[in-house]
Structure 1
Amino acid sequence: MFEEDIRIMKSREAIVQAMDQLLKQKPFRKITVNDICRTAVVGRTTFYAHFEDKYKLISYILQQEARKLEEILLSSSPEEVILEALLDIRDNKKLYVHLFVKEVPEELKQLLQHTFNIFFTNILQVCKEEGVKMASDNMPSLVAYYSSGVVGMLIWWFETNFEMPAEEVVSCLSNLLGFLWEVR
């Protein structure tokens, strides 16, 4: 059974790595399940045993990234986390441009928005528990506001070819969102 678990984990990781590799070559909408399977060297049955479709795969990848950011957030300042994420985006420009800028399908925009919604729900819940005064008691509206703003700013940054230095983007986001991590 343990060997089977390792095989399952290795095939899932191969599929994730294949998507990462393909996103560096072409836009998300042009990537097919066949492309992923060919690159991962797995059969379609194996792919579908792990993921319903390529949207579920990218959702899984985004959720993993969000978890990593939340873990880093516990050991680093929010500004350091944001800077690390932005530098990763800039350094992996092709991947992110193919994922979020080039002819972005509506489903992918919604998925990105959903990922940020979860992220901000968690952050705002902690703030609320720590007694941070919020602009509103309506959590869903605050989550929508912050996640839409961050997603919009990231897409703008991609579309302007990262003209604004990552440190300046961090400063801007910190000014806009800093109260979320300042204890009052």
Structure 2
Amino acid sequence: MLEEDIRITKSREAILQAMETLLKQKPFRKITVNDICQTAVVGRTTFYSHFEDKYKLISYVLQQEQQWLEDIILKSPPHEVILNVLLDIQQNKRLYYNLFVVEVSEELQRLLQDTFNRFFTNILLVCKAEGVQLPSESLPLLVAYYTNGVVGMILWWAENDFSMPAEEVTSCLSNLLGYLWE
């Protein structure tokens, strides 16, 4: 039983790593399940035992990123969190560019939007519970505002080949979002 669990875990990790490797080479839209299987050295049956399709795989990846982000927010000051995230994006710019800028599908845009919506909903609910004075009582409007603002700013930065230093983008985002972590 334990050996089977290890194989399952290793297969899942290989699939996740294959997606990351492929995203550094080409846009998400051009990545096929066959590409993922070949890169991960797993069969299609193994892939489909873990994920329904490549969209469920990328959704899983984005959920893992959201969890990582929420964990580091609890342990670090906002400015440091934002800077670390932006430096990670800049360091892996080919991956992020291929994932979010080049030929982005509606499905992928929706996944990205949903990930940030959940992220900001969680943060705003905590703020509200702790008595933070929010600029509006309408949580859906605030979530939409922050999601679109942050995603738009990061996409602009990527589309402009990360020409502005990460520290400058961090400063701007920190000023706009800082009160959410106070």
TM-score, length basis structure 1: 0.96
Please give the residue correspondences for 1:4-43 in structure 2 after superposition, counting only pairs within 5 Å. Answer: 4-43=4-43
Moved over 4 A (4+): none
What is the Cα deviation at residue 177 of structure 1?
Answer: 1.1
Say whether 1:165 aligns with 2:165. yes
| Structure 1 residue 109 corresponds to structure 2 residue 109 | yes
- Greater mean alpha carbon deviation, residues 23-32 or residues 1-10: 1-10
Name the residue aligned to 2:83: 83
What stretches of structure 1 of length at least 5 have no aligned partner? none
SS of 1:132's equivalent in the other structure is coil
CA deviation profile, 1:32-56 (whole Å, cap 9, x unmatched): 0000000000010110111111111
Shift of 1:96: 0.6
Matched with 2:133 is 133
TM-score (norm 2): 0.97
Q: How far has the Cα of 1:129 moved from its partner?
A: 1.1
Letter in 1 for 2:139: M
- Aligned residue for 2:133, secondary structure, equals coil
Question: Gapped runs of 5+ residues in structure 2?
Answer: none
Question: Offset of 1:115 from its aligned partner?
Answer: 0.5
In structure 2, what residue type is equivalent to 1:78? P
- The C-alpha deviation readout for 1:111-167, integer Å capped at 9, x for no partner, is 111110111011111111111001111111211111111111111010011111101
Partner SS for 2:42: coil
> How many angstroms apart in 2 are the aligned matches of 1:126 and 1:77?
16
For 1:75 and 1:181, the matched residues in 2 are separated by 11
Q: Distance in 2 between matches of 1:70 and 1:178?
A: 15
The reply to whether residue 93 of structure 1 matches residue 93 of structure 2 is: yes
State the Cα RMSD in Å.
0.8
CA deviation after TM superposition for structure 1 residue 175, in Å: 1.1
